């Protein structure tokens, strides 16, 4: 059981690092709209999610 907890902890640590690196980065979407990464989170139905400032949806 400790190895499972260790792996889960490593995954969450990596996600936290990715979240802090991505937040505030400028992006251009495939539809040509530009924005800035506002938030990164995990959704239990979809997995990793990213919200973009200036983009609805």
Per-residue pLDDT of the chain (57 residues; tens, 9 = 90+): 589 999 999 999 999 999 999 999 999 988 888 899 999 998 889 888 988 887 665
Q: Quote the DSSP letter at residue 21.
A: H
CB-count burial class (<10 Å; 0-12, 13-18, 19+) for 22: middle
pLDDT at 40: 92
Whose CA is closest to 51, among 38, 42, 33, 41?
38
Quote the Cα angle for 41-43-45, to 5°: 160
In this prediction the pTM is 0.68
Contact 49/57 with Cβ under 8 angstroms? no
pLDDT at 14: 92
């Amino acid at each position: 059981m400790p190895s499972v907890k260790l792996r889960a902890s490593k995954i969450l640590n990596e996600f936290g690092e990715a979240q802090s690196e991505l937040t505030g980065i400028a992006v251009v979407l495939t539809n040509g709209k530009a924005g800035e990464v506002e938030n990164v989170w995990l959704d239990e139905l979809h997995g990793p999610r990213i919200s973009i400032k200036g983009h609805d949806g």
